[in-house]
Structure formats: C-alpha cells, structure tokens
C-alpha cells in the first residue's frame, strides 16, 4: 500500500517558472529592433528595387525625406510632394530642414549627416534633382536612395 | 513545531508574470517596424563656388562612358540607343572600366596588381584604343545624365547597374563575392584593409549631371 502512496505524491506539474523568461527574451528582442514610427507618411511609398544596397551605419545620423504622390489626392492634388517629419514642404524649405536636423546632432557629427531619400517609383527626376540641388547648397551631401533588395530568379 | 520546520518557504505567485510580459510583447509586436533601411549610397558634389571661375576640364571622348536618359525612359549609351537589359549595361560598364587601352605608369601598376582572372578578362575584352585609357583617377568616367521627365525607377536601375559594375570589379580584385563586398565592415581592421586595397587606383568615378 505504501507503494501507491508514493507514486501519487510525485509532482505532476510542468515547471512554468522559465516561461516568463522566454517571453521576456522575445520582448527584449522586439524592444531593441523596434522603431517607433513618429511620422505619418502622407505620400505614396513604393520604393524601387535595386541590388547594390548598403546599410546605414549609424541611424542617429540619418534624416528622411519622403517624396511621392500624396495619398490624399483630393486634398493635396496629384503632383508629387516632399514630406519631412509631419509636413509637406517645398524645395526652398529643404535648407531649413537640413539645418534643423543638423542642430540635433553634436558639432563633430554635423558633416556626416545622411539624407535618406524615400522616393516613390512613380516620381519623375525633376523634383528629385531640385531637392538634390538644395541639399548641395545646404551642405548635406551624403545621400541614400532608399530601396528594397531585388532578388533575381 | 517539527511540522512548521518542514514546510516549504513561502512563494510569491509568479503565474501572472508571463501574462504581463505577453501584454508588453504584443504591444511591441504591433508597434514594431523592423528597420529595413538600405539603399544606394551616393555623395553629391560640393556646391558650386561662385568666387572661383570654373575651368572647363576637357576629357577625351574615349575616357567617358556616356549614359543619357530621356523623358520617355529611353536610354542612349555611348551615343547609340540602348535596348539591352541592365545586366548587359553592367557588363558594358565593367568592360569600360577594365579597358587599359593606353595605360599611364599608374595604370600599369594597377594592372599588375590585378588577379589573373581579371587580367585575362582585360586581354579578352579590353585593350581597345577607342575606350578608356586606364582606370586611375579621371581616366575612366561614367557619366549619367537624366532628363527631368525620366522616371525615378529607371534612374535607380541605371545607378544600380553602374554601381554594380564597380562593386564586381572591387570584389573580384580582392577575391570575394560581390555580396560579401557589400557587407564589408569598415570598422574591422582586416576588412577595412581589404576595402582600401580593392579601391586603390580604381576610384568610383560616376558623374551624375544635372538633369535638363
């Protein structure tokens, strides 16, 4: 009879103490990789595909310029527009924007500012060229044409 | 009293810990956008200095590889309409860069530093006196000019092809694949050395003219 008693007193629970740790690990992964989207992109963004892509080394040095046809064509028209942060700007305001972005960086890093151009494939070169001329004038010469990796079949 | 001693130490129930972590996890899962910021890097030329009178530097026609794009997305490569694929364009650029038609002493030095596979490539396709002299500074320039009406898509494709040609040259020179070339970490001393060795004497001479 004592045999029966022993077997029934054995612990049948699966230890779940490690479960929170596993979840925390996943949590930390997502916390680290997450980038909070602080801007609402108001232009169409179908990025071009290319193969010779380089990664951005330091994210803090990057500022974004979005160019594309506005999503809300009823309100903003169908012509491609330039968006930085949360607002539409014109070519002339690029210098101001660059200077604002440069002010956020420390003095030694200001020349290394990289402009990431997120341009929709449907945009014509005219507006992009105008933006580039302004960037040259405001001495933000490092550019990155943001694109997605093309995989050949 | 003996009973009390045998009792397990009191535990704080941690069963809901997982729930809390799950809640946070789901929050981050929803708000996350994995950073996929990659692209074609380019350096714009410095702003034109108005105090200095610009001198026109005359570059012989043979040292220029001209790519023109019009507003209807048609390409003109070396003064002839181009209908090939971008991979073919990449090969053309590669042949142009590795031509060594009339090398200077510097060019000969670069040629001698190349691996055998590239030397045979040059001997097979290069050595054309009508094409670039050699690949050192200012002797082989790829010039790309788009029109204001050219689509951004074509612009990127051409830029990608030209960059691809250079990357393939660099990668082959140090004996790695083009994919490995793109992921070289310049903070690492060995890899930085490789990077500098590959680019020694072959500058990435891409001139992008202002669209008209």
DSSP per-residue string spanning B109-153: HHHHHS-HHHHHHHHHH---TTS-S-SSTTTSEEEEE--TTSBHH
Laid out side by side, the sheet with B38-43 consists of: A54-55, B38-43, A142-146, A114-119, A62-68, A81-84, A87-89
Residues of B in contact with A143 (CB under 8 A): 41-44
Q: What is the pLDDT of residues B198-209, one digit of tens each?
A: 888 888 888 888
Residue B2 has pLDDT above 60, yes or no: no
B183 neighbourhood in chain A, CB within 8 Å: 55
Are the beta carbons of B32 and A30 closer than 8 angstroms? yes
User: With a cut of 0.90, is the ipTM above it?
Assistant: no
- What's the half-sphere exposure (Cβ side, CA atoms, 13 Å) at B53? 1
Question: What's the pTM value of the predicted model, to 2 decimals?
Answer: 0.79
Instruction: Give which of B38, B50, B74 to mutate to test A binding, by max A Cβ within 10 Å.
Output: B38
CB contacts of A43 in chain B (<8 Å) are: none
Tens-digit pLDDT profile for residues B74-130: 888 888 898 888 889 998 888 888 888 888 888 888 888 888 888 888 888 877 777
User: Does residue B39 carry a pLDDT above 70?
Assistant: yes
All residues of chain B having their beta carbon less than 8 Å from the beta carbon of residue A124 are: 71, 148-152
Other CB atoms within 10 A of residue A100 CB? 13
Predicted local confidence at residue B3, as pLDDT: 52
Nearest of B89, B111, B90 to residue B102 by alpha carbon:
B111
Distance in angstroms (rounded) separating the CA atoms of residues A66 and A83:
5
Residues A77, A92: Cα–Cα separation, whole Å: 19
How far apart CA A25 and CA A15 sit, in angstroms, is 18
Across the interface, whether the CB atoms of A20 and B41 are under 8 A apart is answered no
Flag if A26 and B25 touch (Cβ within 8 Å).
Answer: yes
Suggest the residue from B20, B27, B37, B39 to mutate for an interface test with chain A (most A CBs closer than 10 A): B39
Report yes or no: B134 and B104 within 8 Å, Cβ to Cβ: yes
SS3 content of chain B, % helix, strand, coil (to 5): 45, 15, 45
Give the 3-state secondary structure of residue A57. coil
CB-based contact B44 A31, cutoff 8 Å = no
Residue B51 pLDDT exceeds 80: no
Would the CB atoms of B44 and A124 count as touching at under 8 Å?
no
Contact B128, B101 (CB under 8 A): yes
Q: What is the pLDDT of residue A119?
A: 92
Mean pLDDT within A4-33: 75
- Could you identify the residue written with the tokens 């232009």? A43
**Top-ranked range on mean pLDDT: pick from B4-13, B28-37, B109-118, B154-163:** B154-163
Model confidence band, residue A17 (pLDDT cutoffs 50, 70, 90): confident
How far is the alpha carbon of A75 from chain B, nearest alpha carbon, in Å? 24
**Average predicted confidence (pLDDT) for chain B:** 83
Q: What is the mean pLDDT of residues A43-64?
A: 85
Q: Tell which phi-psi region holds residue B29, choosing left (phi > 0), alpha (psi between -120 and 50) or beta.
A: alpha
Per CB-CB distance under 8 Å, the chain B contacts of A142 are 41, 43-44
């Amino acid at each position: 009879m004592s045999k029966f008693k022993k077997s029934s007193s054995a612990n049948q629970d699966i230890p779940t103490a490690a479960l929170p740790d596993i979840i925390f690990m996943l949590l930390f992964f997502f916390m680290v990789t997450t980038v909070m989207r602080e801007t609402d992109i108001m232009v169409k963004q179908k990025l071009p595909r290319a193969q010779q892509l380089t990664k951005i080394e330091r994210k803090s040095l990057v500022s974004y310029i979005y160019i594309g046809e506005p999503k809300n064509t009823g309100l903003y028209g169908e012509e491609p527009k330039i968006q930085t942060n949360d607002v539409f700007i014109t070519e002339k305001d690029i210098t101001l924007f660059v200077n604002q972005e440069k002010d956020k960086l420390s003095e030694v890093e200001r020349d290394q500012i990289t402009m990431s151009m997120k341009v929709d494939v449907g945009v014509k070169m005219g507006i992009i060229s105008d933006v580039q001329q302004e960037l040259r004038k405001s001495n933000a010469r490092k550019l990155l044409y943001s694109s997605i990796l093309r995989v050949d079949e | 009293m003996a009973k009390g001693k045998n009792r397990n130490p009191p535990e704080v129930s941690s069963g809901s810990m997982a729930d809390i972590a799950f809640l946070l996890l789901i929050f981050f899962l929803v708000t996350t956008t994995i950073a996929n910021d990659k692209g074609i890097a380019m350096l714009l030329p410095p702003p034109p200095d108005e105090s200095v009178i610009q001198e026109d530097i005359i570059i012989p026609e043979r040292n220029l590889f001209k790519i023109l794009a019009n507003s209807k997305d048609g390409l003109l490569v070396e003064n002839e309409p181009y209908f090939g694929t971008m991979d073919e364009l990449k090969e053309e650029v590669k042949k142009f860069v590795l031509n060594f038609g009339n090398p200077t002493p510097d060019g000969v030095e670069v040629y001698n530093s190349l691996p055998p596979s590239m030397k045979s490539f040059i001997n097979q396709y290069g050595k054309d006196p009508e094409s670039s002299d050699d690949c050192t500074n200012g002797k082989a320039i790829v010039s790309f000019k788009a029109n204001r009406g050219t689509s951004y898509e074509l612009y990127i494709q051409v830029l990608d092809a030209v960059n691809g040609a250079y990357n393939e040259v660099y990668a082959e020179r140090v004996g790695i694949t083009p994919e490995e070339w793109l992921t070289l970490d310049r903070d690492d001393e060995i890899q930085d050395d490789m990077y500098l060795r590959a680019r020694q004497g072959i500058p990435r001479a891409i001139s992008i003219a202002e669209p008209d």
